[in-house]
């Protein structure tokens, strides 16, 4: 019985990647803003309809550079407890304090009705997450930020290809970042991006990601966030398949929704203003013992879902914090994401659904 993991990296035909490798050998430039990287930035920004698009080495460094570019180097940053740990760790790396706002149980994004109560004189920014590609309430967050003079940085790691009112979800906030890790819908093996609509902020991002200097002139503190030509080559290969891959994932997503019984809380993608990317299929169980029972039944059949996200980040053991986020804590203890990737056969989806339904 074949092992079914929660995800499987999409790989283009090897010959297509090898053609880009030949160009790298011919150009004799492996990194430092090479020709393939520049081509990748142009084609990807055109595909997404974005200006000021920066390709960087990974999604975590993208968040760090974003904070630095907006001069968020102290104080408090309001964020969500329901995310991958990188969202919180980047705030800590910047010597800032994360302040957690609980989530909306309907879409797992930050509950905007609770943001203002978390704002203090130390608050510098809001860092929401478009969880599983579901858009945050961007208009309300923008209004709150403007009212209180705060910056907004969106962790849009899951939002590549998502559109809201016909516009890329990465085009909101003072900065949006994305991850192009190998497990993502769109990947460059490792990698990420920063989108900074303001030209002055974009110029700072460009400097910071390359050690803060241009040639022999040093302007500011920087870091090495550069991506390589090999990463850009994979991105150029995969970009041509992205629309087809989203369409294939939609078929799998809808098959799960059709087959899973009413014992599982499934999210409906029914907002007519959103074009979804079908990156994940989250399922919420009634409690943690039920989750563990379902996961054990799947594992017995060589099927391996994943607990996205666990634990709730306000419970990280190295945080000096007693912040309570009961909704996030509850959801994180009883949610899993099911296998969903290009190449997953519908017969396998049926098998997964049958195991889950029978486990209850």
pLDDT, one tens digit per residue, over 185-210 is 999 999 999 999 999 999 999 999 99
Q: What integer best gives the mean pLDDT of the chain?
A: 97
327-343: average pLDDT = 98
What is the C-alpha to C-alpha distance for residues 47 and 215, in angstroms, rounded to an integer?
Answer: 31
pLDDT band at 339 (very low <50, low <70, confident <90, very high): very high
Contact in structure between 34 and 233 (CB atoms under 8 Å): no
Whether the predicted pLDDT of 12 surpasses 80: yes
**Beta strands per DSSP E along 198-310:** 213-214, 217-218, 265-266, 274-275, 282-284, 303-304
CATH 3.40.640.10 matches 14-239: yes
User: Taking the CA of residue 55 as centre, how many other CA atoms within 13 Å lie in the half-sphere pointing to its CB?
Assistant: 32
What is the C-alpha to C-alpha distance for residues 258 and 48, in angstroms, rounded to an integer?
Answer: 31
Whole-model pTM over 0.85:
yes
Three-state secondary structure along 75-116?
CEEEECCCCCCHHHHHHHHCCCEEEECCECCCCCCECHHHHH
Look at the alpha carbons of 123, 323, 105, 194 in this order and tell me if their dihedral is positive or negative.
positive
pLDDT band at 79 (very low <50, low <70, confident <90, very high): very high
338-343: average pLDDT = 98
- Which pair of tokens denotes residue 269? 């993608």
The predicted pLDDT at position 26 comes to 97
The predicted pLDDT at position 166 comes to 96
What count of other Cβ atoms lies within 10 Å of the Cβ of residue 302?
A: 11
Q: Where are the domains of the chain?
A: 14-239, 241-359
The predicted pLDDT at position 238 comes to 98
The predicted pLDDT at position 257 comes to 95
262-281: average pLDDT = 91
Q: CATH: 3.30.200.20, 3.30.450.40, 3.10.20.740, 3.90.1150.10. Which one for 241-359?
A: 3.90.1150.10
């Amino acid at each position: 019985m074949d092992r079914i993991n929660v995800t499987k990296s999409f790989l283009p035909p090897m010959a297509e990647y090898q053609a880009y490798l030949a160009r790298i050998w011919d150009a004799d430039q492996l990194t430092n803003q090479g020709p393939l990287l520049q081509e990748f930035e142009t084609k990807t920004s055109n595909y997404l309809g974005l200006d000021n698009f920066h390709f960087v080495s990974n999604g975590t460094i993208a968040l760090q550079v974003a904070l630095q570019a907006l001069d968020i180097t102290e104080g408090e940053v309001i964020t969500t407890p329901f995310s991958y740990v990188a969202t919180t760790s980047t705030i800590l790396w910047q010597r800032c304090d994360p302040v957690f706002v609980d989530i909306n149980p309907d879409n797992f994004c930050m509950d905007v009705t609770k943001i203002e109560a978390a704002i203090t004189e130390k608050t510098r920014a809001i860092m929401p997450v478009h969880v599983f590609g579901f858009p945050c309430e961007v208009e309300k967050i923008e209004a709150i930020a403007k009212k209180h003079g705060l910056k907004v940085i969106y962790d849009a790691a899951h939002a590549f290809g998502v559109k809201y009112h016909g516009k890329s979800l990465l085009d909101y906030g003072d900065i949006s970042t994305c991850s192009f890790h190998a497990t993502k819908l769109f990947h460059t093996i490792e990698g990420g991006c920063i989108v900074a609509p303001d030209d002055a902020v974009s110029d700072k991002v460009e400097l910071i990601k390359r050690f803060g200097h241009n040639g022999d002139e040093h302007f500011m503190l920087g870091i090495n966030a550069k991506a390589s030509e090999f990463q850009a080559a994979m991105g150029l290969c995969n970009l041509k398949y992205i629309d087809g891959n989203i369409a294939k994932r939609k078929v799998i997503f809808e098959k799960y929704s059709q087959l899973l019984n009413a014992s599982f809380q499934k999210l409906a993608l029914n907002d007519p203003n959103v074009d979804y990317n079908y990156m994940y299929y989250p399922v919420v169980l009634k409690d943690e013992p039920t989750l563990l029972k379902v996961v054990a039944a799947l594992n017995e059949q060589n099927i391996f879902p994943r607990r996205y996200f666990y634990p709730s980040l306000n419970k990280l053991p190295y945080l000096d914090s007693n912040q309570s986020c009961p909704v996030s804590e509850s959801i994180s203890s009883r949610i899993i994401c099911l296998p969903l990737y290009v190449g997953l056969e519908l017969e396998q989806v049926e098998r997964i659904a049958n195991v889950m339904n029978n486990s209850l």
